[in-house]
């Protein structure tokens, strides 16, 4: 009877997913996005994962990451065909492609659209990405196809700010002003796919843009469906209702799906890091020897076994793997419980100590924190976990209540995007720019600040290396592991490139993508 009930429930679920969905065409790509609905279909407003991925279908930046990569070394021309920069790194001149067309008959892209877009992206009242543009002094149109950006100070990776990522997406000035508030549900861009229809809590439908400057897409139609449940997305795939979908970041699921001859599993960056931040304002963690004991108590191999070796990798540096400026030869504080106990004894805790801390109930944080609890117990640190709702936990760690905070982030791939908000003292809880510095780390401020304005890449990376050395030596945090992105797709669907990473959290769909 239970088996029959499960079959009936599954059939009912699939029928519900099918209701109202468009009929498939031969070259229709059906995407299963996570989440229940769109937020706002405006790349300068929304930063949610499902929206950010959808924007890659509709918009372009002045430059772009090569499809399938998030390595800054692969940044290449997009709406700009070339650019120049002044020796001091303060003036950037971009020369636009001619003849690039906006969707919906809104005409040719000009420098006026770029100026409007970047000024809007930099406006805190209009943009969710304004912080990235803090160094912008002015954006001006030199002529219809030339844009000049002047900075207040050099920034570590200027091209990344104007790439095809969040605030760097270019919109139509005419369409935005004409549509007003409706622009949030009727997006106009220059990307390979143009907007057709939005059904709240169901789907967004797009069609291939025949006038795209890189050529007409082989995919004729995209149906971007909102399916919040992991199980529902898998069911929809098996019933051929979707072809590409956000998968589970779980080892068992990846292994099981890889056995299906119809599915290809893509595991790619950006990896979401997991670091254990040690609050230096809470006793006894104000003692560096105690903090270093925690560093030596963590066994990363157990985390890889727990979370899954196909979807995780060990992390030994404060800056994630592959980020510009990561210290690749950084001294490793490896698992050494004997040394951890010796450090605790030296600090006056030969029998260990007990401490209470908060943790979220969501499994992606709760499960690894439970393993941390067990590993610390083995060296004499007894951690009592107070489990809170996720929002309450966020509030608690920002009120500086937690001595130990496990936190994950997937930032822009340059060292500064981790070091400034997570390890600069200005970003500590209660600090002037409070962000994610739960450890109250303050040992590398000079290097982090200097690197932000250093034009010479070699000198900037040297500053980043020194900063990471100081952070680890002080025991501000324990880098533990990185959790990768996971997508499933029909094997007959060819992306047209090798997927190793994408900042927008999903495989880019280019004009070359097609069903074989």
Asked if the structure places residue 285 within a domain, the reply is yes
Asked if the structure places residue 1 within a domain, the reply is no
What is the token pair recorded at 246?
A: 């956000």
- What is the CATH number for 120? 3.40.190.10
160/250 same-domain check: yes
61/78 same-domain check: yes
b/e per residue 264-289 (b: at least 16 CB within 10 A): bbbbbbbbbbbbbbbbbebebbebbb
Asked if the structure places residue 11 within a domain, the reply is no
253/324 same-domain check: no
**How many domains does the chain fold into?**
2
Nearest by Cα to 157 from 168, 147, 148, 146:
168
217/365 same-domain check: no
pLDDT in tens, 421-447: 999 999 999 988 888 999 999 999 999
- What is the CATH number for 405? 3.10.105.10
pLDDT the model gives residue 11: 38
257/273 same-domain check: no
136/200 same-domain check: yes
Q: Any bridge partners for residue 382, and if so which?
A: 354
Distance CA 341, CA 38 (A): 50
255/110 same-domain check: yes
Q: Is 480 left (phi over 0), alpha (psi -120 to 50) or beta?
A: alpha
DSSP state, residue 500: S
> Which domain range does residue 353 map to?
269-484
83/56 same-domain check: yes
Helix (H, G, I), strand (E, B) or coil at 178: helix
pLDDT the model gives residue 15: 39
Asked if the structure places residue 9 within a domain, the reply is no
Residue 14 CB-density burial (10 A; 0-12 exposed, 13-18 middle, 19+ buried):
middle
180/305 same-domain check: no
Asked if the structure places residue 126 within a domain, the reply is yes
Helix (H, G, I), strand (E, B) or coil at 411: coil
pLDDT the model gives residue 185: 87
376/234 same-domain check: no
Low-confidence ranges of the chain (pLDDT < 50): 1-25
pLDDT the model gives residue 26: 59
Global pTM reads: 0.82
């Amino acid at each position: 009877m239970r088996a029959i009930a499960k079959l009936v429930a599954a059939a009912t679920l699939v029928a519900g997913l099918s209701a109202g969905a468009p009929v498939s065409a031969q070259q229709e790509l059906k995407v299963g996005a996570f989440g229940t609905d769109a937020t706002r279909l405006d790349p300068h407003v929304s930063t949610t994962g499902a929206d950010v991925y959808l924007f890659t279908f509709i918009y372009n930046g002045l430059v772009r990451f090569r499809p399938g990569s998030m390595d800054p070394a692969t940044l290449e021309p997009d709406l700009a065909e070339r650019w120049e920069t002044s020796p001091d790194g303060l003036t950037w001149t971009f020369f636009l492609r001619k003849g690039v067309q906006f969707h919906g008959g809104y005409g040719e892209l000009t420098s006026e659209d770029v100026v409007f877009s970047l000024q809007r992206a930099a406006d805190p009242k209009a943009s969710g990405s304004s912080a990235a543009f803090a160094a912008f002094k002015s954006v001006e149109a030199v002529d219809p196809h030339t844009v000049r950006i002047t900075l207040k100070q050099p920034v570590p990776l200027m091209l990344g700010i104007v790439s095809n990522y969040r605030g760097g997406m270019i919109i139509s000035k005419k369409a935005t002003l004409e549509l007003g508030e409706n622009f949030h549900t009727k997006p106009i861009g220059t990307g390979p796919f143009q907007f057709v229809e939005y059904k709240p809590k169901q789907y967004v439908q797009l069609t291939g843009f025949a006038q795209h400057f890189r050529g007409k897409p082989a995919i004729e139609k995209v149906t971007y469906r909102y399916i919040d449940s992991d199980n529902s997305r898998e069911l929809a795939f098996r019933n051929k209702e979707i072809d590409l979908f956000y998968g589970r970041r779980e080892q068992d699921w990846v292994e099981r799906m890889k056995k299906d001859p119809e599915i290809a599993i893509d595991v790619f960056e950006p990896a979401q890091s997991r670091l254990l931040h040690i609050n230096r304002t809470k006793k006894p963690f104000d003692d560096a020897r105690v903090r270093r004991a925690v560093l030596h108590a963590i066994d990363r191999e157990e985390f890889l076994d727990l979370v899954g070796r196909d979807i995780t990798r060990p992390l030994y540096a404060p800056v994630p793997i592959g980020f510009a400026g990561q210290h690749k030869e950084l001294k490793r504080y490896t698992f050494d419980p004997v040394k951890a106990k010796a450090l605790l004894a030296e600090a006056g805790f030969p029998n260990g100590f007990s401490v209470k801390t908060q943790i979220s109930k969501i499994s992606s944080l709760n499960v690894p924190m439970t393993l941390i609890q067990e590993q610390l117990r083995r060296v004499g640190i007894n951690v009592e976990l107070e489990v809170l709702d996720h929002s309450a936990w966020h509030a608690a760690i920002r009120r500086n209540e937690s001595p130990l905070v496990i936190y994950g982030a997937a930032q822009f791939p340059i060292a500064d995007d981790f070091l400034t908000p997570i390890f600069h003292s200005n970003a500590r809880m209660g600090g002037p720019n409070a962000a994610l510095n739960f450890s109250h780390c303050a040992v590398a401020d000079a290097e982090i600040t200097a690197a932000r304005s250093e034009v010479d890449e070699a000198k900037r990376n040297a500053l980043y290396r020194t900063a990471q050395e100081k952070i680890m030596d002080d025991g501000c945090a324990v880098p533990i592991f990185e959790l990768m992105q996971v997508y499933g797709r029909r094997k007959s669907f060819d992306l047209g490139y090798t997927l190793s990473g994408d900042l927008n959290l999903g495989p880019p769909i280019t004009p070359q993508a097609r069903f074989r």
